[in-house]
Chains A and B, each alone.
Chain A
């Protein structure tokens, strides 16, 4: 793996030499996130979010392990132990608010990371495996976050558990036994709370494992970059350390300021007041909503209001509830085939005029509409908006993307990253660059051997 010009780790002291022979851990770190990992020199701030996501995974694990020292997963006392953490445990309020808002920030950075992937087509060959593992991480995160939200055992916890496990009851034949099996009872209670706690503790470590695979897979082709042109030469890259460690450090500072502002000044702004009411199986909140990061998918779930029937016969093929469940899971599962849906040889949205229009004026407004509708009550006009947006969501990925990638004429790509950085594609501005010799401008055509973009698969 890695590029021929990657720096090699050289142990400096007797101890590191000894360690390098027995357990080359420093070498691994050096090659993974150190000076031994050459990274395209033109990454923009959208490439900060991978490291940030890793940071928030650590935040969640550390605060979570600490909170678990004070929490008890029992329906009688769970709510009270959370209040015990908030009132009596030293810095308990800080740790719990950091954990609750940390989940939100984890999702914020993950969504930025995913949508960066959409825009720059980071999922394309040779990086399909990185993308697939990323989708797995996202699914695990959703499961973990859902189960974590149940633990405080407030009203939203309880009814969220009821509603989400209720999704599985839509499955024909096995649905209802499946829901009872998931809950270990007929309604959420101690059995459900205990298993959710157990899995909520376990899954983050599974996520950490898949993250390692994700990074491993990343290091085989190396990082993508905003031009989508593959690295060709040493001048295209800089070592990860110190260049991107410094940049990630700065990015981390900015995100930490936002994160801490939420933790210390608006800790409950992203939560729901009903979750400060203890779970009551006899009273449903007026308006059940999941946490904000599930809203788009919740909107897709609720968009299907009518059963799929054969007209004029009264025969129901698929009930609306099952349609919604299929669509909701399908909306994420389709990301698994995304690398094979988008056939364009050009990666970056910057060089794909038509794709870019659909991204900014189609997908992004569609996601915003789904987000708003998912958090809104199931009333008009939200229902109709969510139906239109859901339709667009599937059309975008399944229909528009394959067709656009077929008919689009991409803009000319720069010959190399160095050219793009030095403005080599703009005549008259090729001077400078100090130690890096200016490259000749080659107007590569997509699909040709020299343009550095994706080779046609078929």
Chain B
């Protein structure tokens, strides 16, 4: 069902997978490309070369040990805490929305938002670093004050797809939300 090529806001290709489980249940998964071996090699080489240069001047082997430990630890933390492979949003009409993301290390986090808390799903604009981007977010409401927005939950925070991708997800979400 994929026919358009999507990219994130920096121009890297991403893929969007829409699954229709039934008429009121849909899942959208945005996958970023896997970590490339070239990039890992590049960073590792850079750190090791710098460490070797320091070692060359100071003749202290602890620098080299430190560099090896640093790269290993850095890589582990990166795949465990930073690098997200898939981000998915599962919308089930009348029940709620589940937002989950799976990291490169295999760790998964997910949160579930009850439909009674969901006010709407909208596309909003924000200033992010040195650009102005569109993002998709869920507006939450407090059951005691149903007309106010109590909190905003941004979706696809790590992959940051561009507008054409967001519009597609938005339209499907609205189809389900308007029916319940």
A interacts with B: no
State the A residues within 8 Å of B (CB). none
State the B residues within 8 Å of A (CB). none
